[in-house]
Amino acid sequence: MDLRSALEKHFGFSDFREGQREVVEAVLGGRDVIAVMPTGAGKSLCYQLPAILSRGLTLVVSPLIALMKDQVDSLVQRGIAASALHSAMSRAERGAVMGRIRAGEVKLLYLAPERLAGGGFVDFLLGGQVARLVVDEAHCISQWGHDFRPDYRRLRRFREQLGVPVAAFTATATPDVQKDIAGQLGSSDPLLLIKGFERPNLVLSRVHASGRERKEAAFRKLLAAAGTPGIIYCATRRSVESWRERAAQESLSVACYHGGMNDEARKLAQEHFLEGRVEVIVATNAFGMGIDKPDIRFVMHAEVPGSLEAYYQEAGRAGRDGKRSFCQLLFGAADVRTQEFFLEGSNPGPQIIRQVWNVLANTDIEGEVEELGGQDAVRRMKFLTAERLLRQAADGTGVRPGVGPLPLDMEAVESKVERDRRRLDDILRFVHTRGCRQRFIYDYFSGKSEGGQVQDCGACDNCAVPEGCERRDLSEEEYRLVRIGLSAVARLSGRFGLERMTQVLSGSKSKEILNRGLDRIPTYGKMSFLSRNTIKELMQALIDARLVELRSIEGGRPGIFVLALSDEGVAVMKGDIRPMIALGDIIHAKQPSERCEEERGREESRAEATTVGDDEAPDVAELFEQLRAWRARIAAIGKRPAYTVFHDKTLMEVARRKPQSDVELLSIKGIGPAKVERFGADLTRIVRRSS
């Protein structure tokens, strides 16, 4: 039987998804494998099919009991001999499974890494016919991973005892994590496969929405566009409860899921969602691992998550049926402060860790360690984190908590702070990027090893740009200015951000520039004939084109970046390559008299500018801002002041009345036949999209 026939016979699929066949053939051939495939890409089949077609037992190490149970139940329903061993089973149930293994009646055995701590169980497996070891959620083995679990560190020795090939699967492993997984498992020349990140049916977007009303308005629009079922992810339990109430106000059936609920309540909420008895589930990141519901139409992050790995693992639960689905991230400055709280609280310093280790020698009373933190919430969280890490490490090394030397690698503990900060910076880069979001994610996980083969998705909020803003060839003047901008970044590399770089290029006489001697660098004032907004647009375009990188400041706050050149940026600066960049037509060398005239126009525009009042409806305010952003792009393309396209008062009237046709547009003061002919289609499209 060939592989395609076996696939159809056992799983009912007519063909493999991208990357699956390659992995299946490698596993069947006895080769080590590290596969990075996002949620919904079909990782499980890549080891389940080889297990069915091979002699012997396939061991699958998995971190969650619920995940094991779901996998085993699904396989048994297909007539495949699968079992699990975990702590929720009775002694009699575990004994029955062991008997089936002895009899050679099990093809796939799921177990938690803690099971490998018992020497008797390992000896039992060594006496059998184990064919291969599979590690699910393999990023848990890496101290560089976002969900590191010390128990996974036993796997290398176990694999070496068995003398079998290993296949590691994860949805979230950056190049550093991929390398660490291979080292921790002792993989020999593994097949490294990174596939499935291009999911064109997912519409990725970020909505800047600070405050409750704006977030609620964004949710209503998302609901109207996507329909249900859907998932709302929240950063805190309090936010989960709040969003459950908000979603219920939309006449939706809603369940919630978070770590403060008991096991039975969480299980019931999950079952009701999977069975379609509730339309929306509101949850923390505790929900979702192993969830296989193909028709999820939207995943909304009500607050920014702590990492890009977490974001894409959660967003990827949408649209597994291949139909159009929406992944929306709501972003406000307060969300970053929440993640900073988690970052600090989840990284206790050496002093607290040593203090907790000494306390654990004399107490087993739950809550006593937390009290050491006093009334400060961050400090209490640090003590709880230290206790959890130390108890896990003590259990993993077989020592009594508080006795003997610290069972933690303190260098690794200290370096984790910087890794977590970089992860938060990475998700904030994703939030602020104006490039293709699908490409950003692919490059993040692939290390750009195949980035040139991945095209812009055409569907995310950044790809859906007006005509005239696509990547294009540069004129000689534009190319010259691009190289000047890159030269400025090179001379000040890693020292300053976008604002300061703009001041240097514009020839600012501010104290910050003069006191630092930045007026003496060769590129100072080289773009003084351009407005500062235009210079910012140019520099932002260089960032979007990956010629300039945003880099974190060591020890600085997350989200604060300095500019530095990428390798490609260096090549462009030197004139070795000529890039295509989405500049629009923002570069226009103006004479001083033209600049004065433009400044007068801007003053006139500011004099009659319309601001959004507090009593304005959230949907009107958001549509008004979308219209202003569109106007800015049109003005840049036409090399003209924004007020000459439409005045703010006119755009505010459009936002309030939401015209759907040319006739309705003509009824608004400030819009005549000529403007309807030129801009009518754009205006009505923006209005319809926001409705």
Confidence of residue 333 (pLDDT cuts 50, 70, 90): confident
Confidence of residue 599 (pLDDT cuts 50, 70, 90): very low
CB neighbour burial string for 177-193, b if at least 16 within 10 angstroms, e if fewer: bbbbbbebbebeebbbb
* pLDDT tops 90 at residue 617: no
3-194 and 592-690 share one fold: no
CATH architecture for segment(s) 592-690: Orthogonal Bundle (1.10)
CATH architecture for segment(s) 465-573: Orthogonal Bundle (1.10)
- CA 261 to CA 255: how far, in whole Å? 12
Give tens-digit pLDDT for 240-257. 999 999 999 999 999 999
* pLDDT tops 60 at residue 478: yes
Q: If you average pLDDT over residues 661-679, what whole number do you get?
A: 81
**Which residues are CB-neighbours of 142 under 8 A, at least 6 positions away?**
148, 173, 177, 180, 181, 184
Amino acid at residue number 48? Q
- Quickly name the fold that domain 202-331 has: Rossmann fold (3.40.50)
* pLDDT tops 80 at residue 28: yes
Number of neighbours of residue 312 by Cβ within 10 angstroms: 25
Tell me the CA end-to-end span of the chain in Å, nearest whole number: 53
Q: What is the dihedral of CA 532, 534, 539, 545, to 10 degrees?
A: 170
* pLDDT tops 60 at residue 466: no
Q: If you average pLDDT over residues 49-60, what whole number do you get?
A: 93
Q: Determine the pLDDT at residue 601.
A: 42
Q: If you average pLDDT over residues 553-557, what whole number do you get?
A: 68
Q: Determine the pLDDT at residue 616.
A: 59
Q: If you average pLDDT over residues 5-12, what whole number do you get?
A: 91
Q: Which pTM was predicted?
A: 0.68
Q: Determine the pLDDT at residue 257.
A: 95
Instruction: Give 114-140 as a DSSP string.
Output: GGGG-HHHHHHHHTS-EEEEEESSGGG
Closest CA relative to residue 63, chosen from 41, 81, 47, 84? 84
Percentage helix, strand, coil for the chain under 3-state DSSP, each rounded to 5: 50, 10, 40
Closest CA relative to residue 394, chosen from 421, 372, 361? 361
Give tens-digit pLDDT for 372-386. 888 888 899 999 989
- Are the C-beta atoms of residues 460 and 438 closer than 8 Å to each other? yes
Q: Where exactly are the structural domains of the chain?
A: 3-194, 202-331, 339-422, 465-573, 592-690
Q: Determine the pLDDT at residue 153.
A: 77
Give tens-digit pLDDT for 286-298. 897 767 799 999 9
* pLDDT tops 70 at residue 592: no
Confidence of residue 596 (pLDDT cuts 50, 70, 90): very low
Higher pLDDT, 67 or 574: 574
Confidence of residue 469 (pLDDT cuts 50, 70, 90): low
* pLDDT tops 50 at residue 591: no
- CA 256 to CA 259: how far, in whole Å? 10
Domain 3-194 has CATH 3.40.50.1000: no
- CA 634 to CA 642: how far, in whole Å? 8
Give tens-digit pLDDT for 377-429. 889 999 998 988 888 778 767 788 888 888 887 887 777 888 888 889 899 98
- CA 361 to CA 355: how far, in whole Å? 10
Give tens-digit pLDDT for 123-150. 888 777 899 999 998 888 876 655 666 6
Q: Determine the pLDDT at residue 470.
A: 65
